[in-house]
Structure 1
Amino acid sequence: MEHTRNKTNVLIKNPEFLLIGIGASLIAIHLSLFWRYKDSVSFCLCFLFLATVCSQLKEKQHSLKLESGIISSFLGFFLLLFIFINSIYQLNSGILLSFSPFISGFALAIIASGFSGLKQYFIELLTILFFSLRTWIPSINSIDISIITAKFSAFLLWYTGFDVNRSGLTISLPTGTVEVYHGCSGIVLILDTLSLAILFLFMFELHLKQKIIVPLVAAILAFIINGIRVCLMALLVAQGDKQAFDYWHDGDGSLLFSMITAFLFCCFCWVLLSNNQRKEQNLTDS
């Protein structure tokens, strides 16, 4: 009994331990939810976003003011209880799954510092909010770039020497045709790569021009890689290889293009940071 009382006193005198424990539990819950729905891309992005938030909080942990009131604490624990219940009973796997990381972050913030201390976590909450918006944006379904993707993929096939014709969204080869639907237009891959770009902007200090260039490179790179993917789909259909088509279209092979895009974008970011570091070193030496 005395040992339990001592543990309780430690948590009361050091609320950061309680907050870290709650935060770790929330991270485990959200990662398990995305894993449960077999959404590998969202799982990886969620891990990266949450890791970024943890890193940001660690850097300013000594300057955070942990002062909360009864109302803010009650609301925060109520929101967390709602998140825990939803993770068990899966009340809504759409909107709630998308916004549960932001709701959890907001709840933990007001428990830690109250409403008046929310400004301390502005960047962290903004980071989580972007991830939530990335997984659920109502207007995303109205953005259809399928015709642009079809034109680009047909051009790539023509430029590399294939006998290709395009009519609207249909790309025709002598022995097969494919139609570029909205799901294959590349808008999802573009949004995922833009998420990495936002993380990069949050983590590193860049010049204004670079802050504009980074998202543009992310979007263009994702569009080009997806266009190459559509070309591959067209060639597989033309060869009549349905098993290979299903693997690269819906199977694990489809994730390879996301990995390639992420890798190339990370290489671009590394080159950009290396150039900035080199310029700063030259200014210091001079």
Structure 2
Amino acid sequence: MQITQKLRPLIEKELGNVLIIGCLTLMYAPILLHWVDGWLNKNINTEHEYFSHGLIGLPYAAYLVFNQNSKEWENLDNKIHPLGGFLLGVGIVFYITGSIELVNLSFPIILGGILLWLKGMPGLKLNSFPLLLVLLATPNSIPYLLTPYTLPLQKFIAGAAGFILMQFGANVNVDGIYLYVNNIPVEVAPYCAGLKMLFTGLYVSLLLLHWSGKIDDKKRVISLSISAVFISVITNIIRNSLLAMFHGTGNKQAFDSLHEGTGGDIYSVIMLGIIVGVNWLMDKISIKSQESLELERENSHE
């Protein structure tokens, strides 16, 4: 009897959260499992593969919500914001349409609606970064809409890759977005222009900035973002150079591996590792600069 009396307030307090989590699980667990399976096994359409950074971002967002921000969330006043009801309504309508695009987008919309419905604007502000991570990891058609505008980047990559191969004595010619190695053509297609790794690089940079507590440092945000863009473009030029060489020399196994196999995964990890290294180096430089300034101040006081 005493145990029941002690558990009752806890059950009443957590019942709402349990119901919300239960409903979200029933609605979105199959969809999230589909995303993860597609990202890991690459059996999802090309546009959705552009959001495979969700394998990193979604767990980190959950960690922030249920671990780092949980106590502060409980201390917020319970207040309903009308926009929360509107977003919940829009999200439900999107969900019941059955359209893949709209069902996917309903996920961050409903999450935003729940935050506003339960805790108002303070609740949305508290978990705005995790919600942003979810939104940026939600598969949609933006990559498909961008492909018509990647032609200048394709030509640049083809020209740069051709120049690199020439330095190694390869028999190569460049014609627009085509590389001819030993007269065998290789196209730098829109999906080979490096947008996927560019998106992933910027997403990981965002995670690193938040993890290191530099997300509000505008100079750091700009410098790391520019570094991520530069790194993704350079590494993609090297990748396309290797792909052209492998294809032109008949090395099909190496071509397939780097194009869509293990070699491509290793290339992605190396690129992200470089970004992590650059962020670490920026941290070290920032610490040394701060120490130098403090030393100068101490010397000036003396």
CA contact 1:23–1:108 (8 Å) conserved in 2: no
Cross-structure match for 2:46? none
TM-score (norm 2): 0.74
The answer to whether residue 119 in structure 2 is matched with residue 113 in structure 1 is yes
The answer to whether residue 283 in structure 2 is matched with residue 250 in structure 1 is no
The answer to whether residue 78 in structure 2 is matched with residue 67 in structure 1 is yes
CA contact 1:95–1:136 (8 Å) conserved in 2: no
| Residues in 2 aligned to 1:102 and 1:171: alpha-carbon distance in whole angstroms | 41
TM-score (norm 1): 0.77
Which one is further off, 109-118 or 171-180? Answer: 109-118
Deviations along 1:77-106, one digit per CA (max 9) or x if unpaired, are: 7788789x77xxx93444533x35413431
| Residues in 1 aligned to 2:89 and 2:68: alpha-carbon distance in whole angstroms | 28
CA contact 2:69–2:127 (8 Å) conserved in 1: no
Which one is further off, 187-196 or 107-116? Answer: 107-116
| Residues in 1 aligned to 2:190 and 2:51: alpha-carbon distance in whole angstroms | 23
Q: Can you give the 5+ residue segments of structure 1 that lack an aligned partner in the other structure?
A: none
Secondary structure, counterpart of 1:165 in structure 2: strand
Which one is further off, 111-120 or 203-212? Answer: 111-120
Cross-structure match for 1:91? 98
| Residues in 2 aligned to 1:221 and 1:249: alpha-carbon distance in whole angstroms | 19
Cross-structure match for 2:184? 176
Aligned length: 281
1:196 pairs, out of 189, 204, 212, with 204
Which one is further off, 230-239 or 125-134? Answer: 125-134
Secondary structure, counterpart of 2:171 in structure 1: coil
Secondary structure, counterpart of 1:269 in structure 2: helix
The answer to whether residue 169 in structure 2 is matched with residue 161 in structure 1 is yes
Cross-structure match for 2:37? 36
Shift of 1:137: 5.0
Cross-structure match for 2:45? none
Q: Can you give the 5+ residue segments of structure 2 that lack an aligned partner in the other structure?
A: 43-48
Tell me the percent identity. 19
One-letter code of the match for 1:67? N
| Residues in 2 aligned to 1:201 and 1:8: alpha-carbon distance in whole angstroms | 42
Counterparts in 2 of 1:80 and 1:33: CA distance versus 1, 3 Å: farther
Deviations along 1:116-149, one digit per CA (max 9) or x if unpaired, are: 7433333333333333378745642233121111
One-letter code of the match for 2:33? S
Secondary structure, counterpart of 1:177 in structure 2: strand
CA contact 1:226–1:257 (8 Å) conserved in 2: no
One-letter code of the match for 2:36? W
Cross-structure match for 2:225? 215
